[in-house]
A and B are shown apart, each in its own frame.
Chain A
Amino acid sequence: GNSVTQMEGPVTLSEEAFLTINCTYTATGYPSLFWYVQYPGEGLQLLLKATKADDKGSNKGFEATYRKETTSFHLEKGSVQVSDSAVYFCAQNYGGSQGNLIFGKGTKLSVKP
């Protein structure tokens, strides 16, 4: 079935370090892929998205590329800040008429000054 697997944290980095959070998916079709971010006590916000193979989503210094050959959508940032501390969720829309999302379990990122 359709699923999303992402690396489980927590991940602790120093400020200005490089960030990678791995995400892979299984899907019967060609889903759209998303990264959402959840700051403490808040709802989920869309961070970036990609709707087809080889698309690169980017926002606020974060990037992820839709890799159909490896069924992956890894999140990267070259230099993290303390303000990036949050929980990050990878998700896919499995493309049916329902428009619903399948989420990974989330990765908690803590960035230390």
Chain B
Amino acid sequence: NAGVTQTPKFQVLKTGQSMTLQCAQDMNHEYMSWYRQDPGMGLRLIHYSVGAGITDQGEVPNGYNVSRSTTEDFPLRLLSAAPSQTSVYFCASSLGHRSEAFFGQGTRLTVV
């Protein structure tokens, strides 16, 4: 069972570059979300989706875009990378609003 798959696992970007972090789940979950993990900050919600075609902002959305064209995929786009976006990014999915979330392995992003 693949679960939640994130690619790439590691990425180095130069300031101003753009890129897309990929996330796919094979559990037919309606809910998907993106978090960033920073030292001493726990995980903070960037964007989330409650179903295909529906997205909304979380706690720290600035500098990121998302779309949800299918149930399976929820890519996160960095429009113009900044050093403040250096972080570990996690994608998660869940069956319903009171269910546990399943996480991908994470993408470690460094912006230089």
Contact = CB atoms under 8 A, between A and B. Distances in A.
Nearest to A102: B45
Interface string A72-113: 000000000000000001000101111111011110000000
A93 B103 contact: no
A43 B45 contact: no
Interface residues of B, number: 28
A30 to B, nearest CB: 10
23 contacts: A32-B98, A43-B4, A43-B90, A43-B106, A44-B43, A44-B92, A45-B103, A49-B100, A51-B98, A93-B97, A96-B97, A97-B50, A97-B97, A98-B31, A98-B56, A99-B31, A99-B48, A99-B94, A99-B96, A100-B48, A103-B35, A105-B42, A106-B42
Interface of B: 4, 31, 33, 35, 40-45, 48, 50, 56, 58, 90, 92, 94, 96-106
Given A96-B97, A99-B50, 18 more contacts: A34-B100, A36-B103, A43-B106, A44-B43, A44-B90, A46-B101, A89-B43, A95-B97, A99-B31, A99-B96, A99-B99, A100-B48, A100-B58, A101-B33, A101-B43, A101-B92, A103-B43, A105-B40
Interface of A: 32, 34, 36, 42-46, 49, 51, 89, 93, 95-101, 103-106
